[in-house]
Amino acid sequence: MDDFEPIKKHFAKYIELTSEEEARLISFFKVKNVRKKQMIVQPDFTCKYRTYIVKGAMRAYLADDKGQTHTIAFAIEDWWISDFNSYINQVPATLFVEALEDTRVIQIDYHSEQLLMDTIPKFERFFRIAAQQSFAFLQKRMLSNLSKTAEERYDEFFQKYPSIVNRVPQYTLASYLGFTTEFLSKIRSRKK
């Protein structure tokens, strides 16, 4: 299964596994193909899987009462995505996770993950590091939202993730950065 190469390398960045341990890990993986616009997580259903993207792009978002959506995360190749709160606490989701392109993912379910951590402490380390990095990342984003203007946030994102900017619909990017799609259009038009 060549699909597993990138995720093996991904784990190897943080922990060193024996080939038995790696085989154990991989035995829990399920490959899945998701068509563009399909949802893999929906409000009220508990999120069973942690999802790794092999190929494609997704976003997690909140739909508010006024019909607007608010993107909490994008994910492309070699990133994880889910309704994280729902997944780690095994409570009903509040978010949607939708494919922005036809996407191939690898999923591990909650109980397998617990089992891995219970039996092989290295996996506990892996998920600790992952959570800590995610937290640090989100703190930076929060501070950026608190301290910068819309245009500054757009520039920052553009510089940090140029590949995402031209890959996702503009309204999803605007909703991630915290302003309207119309305003993003205006920011862009005054740049050229």
Partner DNA sequence: AAATAAAGTTGAACTGGTTCAACTTTATTT
Partner DNA sequence: AAATAAAGTTGAACCAGTTCAACTTTATTT
Q: Residues 129-148 vs a copy of itself: string with x where CB under 8 A? A: --xxxxxx-xxxxxx-xxx-
Q: Does 12 bind a copy of itself (CB under 8 A)?
A: no
Binding residues for DNA, rule: CB under 7 A, are: 36, 149-151, 169-171, 178-186, 188-189
Cα separation of the two ends of the chain? 46
Closest CA to 175 of 59, 84, 87: 59
What angle (nearest 5°) sits at the alpha carbon of residue 153, between those of residues 190 and 160?
105
Q: Residues 78-107 vs a copy of itself: string with x where CB under 8 A? A: ------xx--xx------------------
- Strands 103-109 and 49-55 come out as antiparallel
Q: Does 10 bind a copy of itself (CB under 8 A)?
A: no
- DSSP letter string over 65-85? TTS-EEEEEEE-TT-EES-HH
Q: Does 149 bind a copy of itself (CB under 8 A)?
A: no
Using CB under 8 A as the criterion, which residues of the chain lie in contact with a copy of itself when the complex forms? 62, 64, 68, 70, 72, 84-85, 88-89, 117, 121, 124-125, 127-128, 131-136, 138-143, 145-147, 175, 178
